[in-house]
Structure 1
Amino acid sequence: MPWMRLADRALIHATGADAESLLQGLVTTDLGQLVVGELRAGALLTPQGKVLFDFLISRSDGGFCIDIATSQADAFLKRLTMYKLRAAVNLTLQPDAAAAIGLEREDGALSDVRFEKAGMPLLRRYDASTIEADGAEIYLSARLAAGIAECGPDYPPQDVFPHDILLDLNGGLSFKKGCYVGQEVVSRMQHRGTARRRVVLVAGEDALPESGATVTAGGKPIGTLGSVAGAQGLAIVRIDKVGDALAHGQPLAAGSVPVLLGLPAWTGLSFPEEPAEEAHQL
């Protein structure tokens, strides 16, 4: 696969003596485990533990490079600036990330850990200003196959917990590094095992409806459809409700389209076989 351009991505560069300590105390990613040449998922949460911004983060000369949707970049930069106070950190916005995806390992290419864990090596680089081929469809297909959800096409800000979008399994959420915004809530969810919503792969008997359609089990809502390409899609659903529906032979649908739902194999998750006790999302 040749290198292909990804539009609508911006970069925020965080440099300076305090860059790592500032970010380590804010975002979900454990930067102490982030190595050069690697790209990891991350999020900035609300104090209630909901995902406010999602992004990809890598090490760069003198600091970090944060790859984020263009639509979120300005607001995220303002939020970081608010937290920065007098810390020795320089924050600069590059509105066009010049991002590209590909499979060829070469200087400057970063390994996306999300796809590595899914057994689908996909690299990213940020010097693609001369690349004309559009990678949007290829990237969407890869996300649908791997079960990788992103803010915007799959969920709105402040709607999901990190567990809901598999950050606890793809290297984007730490339970060991110490405090960060929203950490107490997600740690409680982890230790109590109260995560009930998860990203699932959706396969329709026919073309799926548009993103935002309700996913139902036995006619009752259990989640929402996210990214779609033809009869394939992603959804965030209550997996305990799916398990209950499967156990009782109840139909699953997205809108009016009958569907099959599956958890990404790389996660090791499965639909509960016994009806779960009603667990509140913290």
Structure 2
Amino acid sequence: MTETRLNERAVIRISATDGTEDISGFLQGLVTQDMQFVLSGTPQWAALLTAQGKVLFDFFLWADGRDILIDCEKDHAEALVKRLKLYRLRRKIGIEVDEGLSVHWSRDASGQPADPRLAEIGYRWIAHNDSGTGSVDAAYKAHRLALGVTEGQDELGSDKTLWLECNAAELKGVSFTKGCYVGQENTARMNYRQKVNRRLVVVPIAQADEKRQRIAYPDLGLSIEHRRVDDITDLDLPDWLETALAKQPE
């Protein structure tokens, strides 16, 4: 079987320790995505923000019965667990990394869920761990960035970038109808004004601006940059972003 595992991802399980807590309700007031759309086989991309609307963690939400699984960066999984536990207070909710599960990805995997951001990214799913250490992390990153899609703290930053500047609206990572959540006020205001002044973009290294650079991938010939919209008009942008910028009022 062709390898599909993403070894740089981890899975956090959030569950009711006494069987009575509403896990979706707990997350509804925290994350950018509307939890009513997190259904079995229908993952949603979302984030946990600061009160000012800057992204701290981005991740995928999965329904697993009454539990919710969070598909997140492995290097920052424990930090995300710790952050979520701050909001738990005395509620009987378990929040732990599930070592028995792994995240998988393939560009062609009939029957698996499509990436909720862009169908062109491919398919991702969660499965029980098996033996072996192979991964497709490098292939996944190269394909994702070729489509202009950024993710993770190296690219988005932590408490550095407003969520809408991460192209969250265009990549379906935010609900504007769900009501309050952490960082909602500033995010909603930006959307109402229909003016996002800066964007995260994937730039060929030949066109890189180190002052605006978040991270460079020399092996891929790419630079991830936080640029003003006025400074990206001459770039070869992905269709989904070019279409969004064309609709933005002057």
Normalised by the size of structure 1, how large is the TM-score?
Answer: 0.76
Q: Is the 8 A contact 1:49 1:186 kept in 2?
A: yes
Q: Is the 8 A contact 1:4 1:131 kept in 2?
A: no
Whole-Å separation in 1 of the counterparts to 2:64 and 2:32 = 19
Whole-Å separation in 1 of the counterparts to 2:246 and 2:232 = 7
Give the match for residue 94 of structure 2: 90
Offset of residue 169 of structure 1: 1.6
**Which secondary structure does the structure 1 equivalent of 2:97 belong to?**
strand
Give the match for residue 185 of structure 1: 186
Whole-Å separation in 2 of the counterparts to 1:139 and 1:120 = 8
Is structure 2 residue 241 aligned with structure 1 residue 269? no
Give the match for residue 46 of structure 1: 50
How do 1:146-185 and structure 2 match up within 5 A?
A: 146-185=147-186
Structure 1 residue ranges without an equivalent (≥5): 209-213, 247-260, 277-282
> Deviations for 1:241-279, whole angstroms, at most 9, x for unmatched residues?
333xx4xxxxxxxxxxxxxx23321232237999x6xxx
How many residues align? The count is 243
Give the match for residue 215 of structure 1: 209
Whole-Å separation in 1 of the counterparts to 2:96 and 2:173 = 23
Is structure 2 residue 69 aligned with structure 1 residue 65? yes
Is structure 2 residue 78 aligned with structure 1 residue 104? no
Offset of residue 29 of structure 1: 0.9
What letter matches 1:164 in structure 2? Answer: E
Is structure 2 residue 231 aligned with structure 1 residue 237? no
What letter matches 1:41 in structure 2? Answer: W
Query: Considering only CA atoms, is the larger Rg found in Structure 1 or Structure 2?
Result: 1
Offset of residue 49 of structure 1: 0.8
Offset of residue 38 of structure 1: 1.8
What letter matches 1:269 in structure 2? Answer: A
Offset of residue 132 of structure 1: 4.2
Is structure 2 residue 112 aligned with structure 1 residue 122? no
Whole-Å separation in 1 of the counterparts to 2:114 and 2:220 = 28
Whole-Å separation in 1 of the counterparts to 2:36 and 2:59 = 17
Change (3 A) 1:34 1:8: same
**Which secondary structure does the structure 1 equivalent of 2:33 belong to?**
coil
Whole-Å separation in 2 of the counterparts to 1:226 and 1:193 = 28
Higher relative contact order (CA 8 A, sep 6+): 2
Structure 2 residue ranges without an equivalent (≥5): none
**Which secondary structure does the structure 2 equivalent of 1:176 belong to?**
coil
Offset of residue 159 of structure 1: 0.7
